[in-house]
Amino acid sequence: MASALAGLGFALVVLSGCASVHSSDAVEAAPAGHPPGPAEVRLVVSRDFGAKVMRDLVVPADDDLDVLRLLAEHADVETEYGGGFIDGIDGLQSSFGAVSSADAADWFYWVDGTLADVGAADWRLRGGETVWWDYHRWADAAVVPAALHAFPRPYAARPLAFTAAADVAGVDEWASAAGLDLETRRGLEDGEPVGGLVMATAAEAAATPWIAQLLGNARSGIEFVSAVAGSLTLLSSDGETGPAASAIAQPVTDPDHPSRPFLVVLGVSRADLVDVLPRLTAESLSATVAVAVVDGELVRLPWGGP
């Protein structure tokens, strides 16, 4: 079992009797920390997909800093398998093998929006990066390959293609404030781009096959939302339908171009797209995988069910 987990790059950690994840709680900005500068790194430790932030700090980077050392220097860490895997952080320990598979929980980590595919000691950090450790149940979407937790990274790394059926009011101002460079403008009919910002209404998304493929769990790891009949309905990790959303923003990886992820933003109407953009900031997206607007409130995804 240890070798299988190592291949997935998952750090082992969980709490027996872990409570169900209710990740549709209102998004709250992390209590401390900020986007790191070029000579800094940020560490965020949370549970239930960021519903509770346990640690959030920014520290100087150095040439020999890896994910495991960063964590060990700033949290109470327990390890297994010769110190190569995390078994506990600040008292929350892995329950894998100790409880039913439906309730088992572990620690997982992302660096600048990318789920780790190596052990924590093997990921060497560079200045400006954000490491996010989150403790959640395997049943609540263990494998989510991309997250928005370090926004505007990784989207600020290069010029982005902006793909939409029509221009969205305020998109250039929002992109500039976020540090994004929307270089190329494309229409939905131009086909799937190589990463970048994709904006569409729910009806446009339902009528565009390549967007439907992006939203499916083959690339996102979990299907967060159903876009049918001009509406957006949140989905739990087991496919149960949840509340209606007026907008959603989620990252999607491209297996053929892993360094060029998508940021998909959908709204029930074009007005909803305009409304959600200023809500998508580094502060509001800290310790989040994805977000949606439900009853006028920004909530974190994946939706955890009733």
Where exactly are the structural domains of the chain? 2-140, 155-301
| Residue 22's pLDDT band (cuts 50, 70, 90) | very low
pLDDT of residue 306: 58
Region 228-235: what's the mean pLDDT? 93
Predicted confidence (pLDDT) at residue 136 exceeds the cutoff of 70: yes
pLDDT in tens, 89-110: 999 988 766 666 667 889 999 9
Predicted confidence (pLDDT) at residue 78 exceeds the cutoff of 50: yes
- Per-chain mean pLDDT for the chain: 85
Fold of 2-140: Ferric Hydroxamate Uptake Protein; Chain A, domain 1 (2.170.130)
pLDDT of residue 217: 74
Question: What are the tokens at 238?
Answer: 């087991």
CATH number of 155-301: 3.30.379
pLDDT of residue 221: 77
Looking at the chain, the whole-number percentage of residues with pLDDT higher than 70 is 84
pLDDT of residue 117: 86
pLDDT of residue 259: 86
